[in-house]
Amino acid sequence: MSTPVRPSAAHGWRIGSLAGTPVYLGRSWPVIAVLIVVVFGPNLARADRGPSYGYLLAAGYAVLLLVSVLVHESAHALAARWRGHPVSRIVADVWGGHTVYDATRSSPTTTAIVAVVGPLSNLALAAVVWGIRALTTNETAVTLLGIVAVANLLVGLFNLLPGLPLDGGQIVSALVWRATGSKGRGLVAAGWLGRVVAVLTVAWFALRPLAEERSPQIFDLVWPVAIAFFLWQGATGAVRAGHIHEATAGRAADVLEPLSLVAGTASVAEVESAVAAGAWVAAADPTGWPLGVVDAGSAAAVPADSRARTAIASVTVAQPASWVVALPDDAVLTDLIRVMTERELSLAVVVDEATRDIRGLASAERINAVVGAELSRRARR
């Protein structure tokens, strides 16, 4: 599964790299390995091979399953790099794995390509392993290779199901995005299909025993329910992300507030009327670079007889140099939010990318209010 999210601090144990991209074994992966050994070990046991044979075979399967996961995620990573997107890492974890890449400038075509190569790599690996199995005479190897081939076949086909967070859902999302021009609609549509897939997954494993005229066993439902829970969570997250994406698809200029830029040496008296009216005022250095915003409370606290000789620099809340954000004239709110999030800004002076003229000030408070209102309006429809 390919995941376009920001890098995290704790990824697990680094086990190598692929074309410069670090590869990690997630700290949750040993849980899967232990479960595989415990669950499949007794079923693979052979009376003539000793008590440990089944567990060793299951351990071998766990290792080969890890290889299969890494092949799947490496396919995502290589496709993303081929399409020009930096890849942060590849991680094998309890749910299989994920590839983290920068998809901020992605397109429907790139999204679909990066998604489809994962399950296709599993299907190709299943064919290769099955071919090797046909040439193998060792009984243990034949058993192990058969299990791995079937597992890759099932994983590849399952991942192609049309619902997020599966790769097939990414493909559906890309198709809807291409057809409607809205990435948000694609996420919502694929998210709802993911919920359907989650329900059908449980239904399949619950109803199949009944069709075979036997009662479902609790253990037979543990894995389907766990998988369905994971799918439902991912699908719900996709629907929410889609709604947010639609709510932030408007013009970035619509959330900007007027900003007065004055020299930091100006007096509080010169700007007190603007500050008292609730307008944003920013202090600038001699070159005209915005340094920070005047704090209304601090400005009001300056004694009246001192305001004419008190520089606004003394009542200015300094901001990091990165708070000046250059955006194109047609930038959407999503672009502004992305930059402010990456730079961890609560305030940003937005300037025109071409002319460097100040277009206004963006505040996280106003953005949250605008997005919240739009989400509420959509929920009432």
Q: Does residue 152 sit in the same domain as residue 186?
A: no
Q: Does residue 134 sit in the same domain as residue 106?
A: yes
Tell me: pLDDT of 274 over 70. yes
- Is residue 145 in some structural domain? yes
- How far is the C-alpha of 299 from the C-alpha of 238, rounded, in Å? 45
CB 126 within 8 Å of CB 134: no
Tell me: pLDDT of 200 over 90. yes
Q: Does residue 119 sit in the same domain as residue 225?
A: no
CATH of the domain at 333: 3.10.580.10
- Is residue 266 in some structural domain? yes
The percentage of the chain sitting over the pLDDT mark of 70, rounded to a whole number, equals 95
Q: Does residue 217 sit in the same domain as residue 91?
A: no
Q: Does residue 257 sit in the same domain as residue 348?
A: yes
Tell me: pLDDT of 381 over 70. no
Q: What is the mean pLDDT of residues 291-295?
A: 92
Q: Does residue 133 sit in the same domain as residue 81?
A: yes
Give me the number of domains the chain comprises. 3
- How far is the C-alpha of 141 from the C-alpha of 135, rounded, in Å? 10
- How far is the C-alpha of 144 from the C-alpha of 58, rounded, in Å? 8
Listed residue (116, 123, 121, 118) closest to 151, CA to CA: 123
- Is residue 165 in some structural domain? no
CA 374: distance to chain centroid? 22
**In terms of pLDDT, which residue wins out, 329 or 156?**
156
Of the three residues 134, 160, 186, the one that is the final residue of a domain is 160
The pLDDT of residue 232: 95
The pLDDT of residue 87: 92
Residues 229-261: tens digit of each pLDDT: 989 999 999 999 999 889 898 899 999 999 999
**In terms of pLDDT, which residue wins out, 198 or 8?**
198
- Is residue 167 in some structural domain? no
Can you give the residue range of the structural domain that contains 213? 178-247
- Is residue 28 in some structural domain? yes
Q: Does residue 271 sit in the same domain as residue 357?
A: yes
Tell me: pLDDT of 8 over 80. no
- How far is the C-alpha of 134 from the C-alpha of 148, rounded, in Å? 13
Tell me: pLDDT of 113 over 70. yes
- Is residue 285 in some structural domain? yes
- In a 10 Å sphere around its CB, with 0-12 CB exposed, 13-18 middle and 19+ buried, how is residue 247 labelled? buried
Of the three residues 247, 265, 293, the one that is the final residue of a domain is 247
- Is residue 42 in some structural domain? yes
Q: Does residue 187 sit in the same domain as residue 130?
A: no
The pLDDT of residue 5: 43
- How far is the C-alpha of 208 from the C-alpha of 149, rounded, in Å? 23
Q: What is the mean pLDDT of residues 331-360?
A: 91
The pLDDT of residue 327: 92
Residues 78-93: tens digit of each pLDDT: 999 999 999 999 998 8
Q: Does residue 207 sit in the same domain as residue 125?
A: no
Q: Does residue 196 sit in the same domain as residue 281?
A: no
- Is residue 171 in some structural domain? no
Tell me: pLDDT of 214 over 90. no
Of the three residues 116, 134, 160, the one that is the final residue of a domain is 160
Residues 14-52: tens digit of each pLDDT: 989 988 899 999 888 888 888 888 877 887 787 777 778
Q: Does residue 10 sit in the same domain as residue 150?
A: yes
Q: Does residue 116 sit in the same domain as residue 235?
A: no
Torsion, CA 251, CA 253, CA 257, CA 263, rounded to 10: 150
Tell me: pLDDT of 7 over 60. no
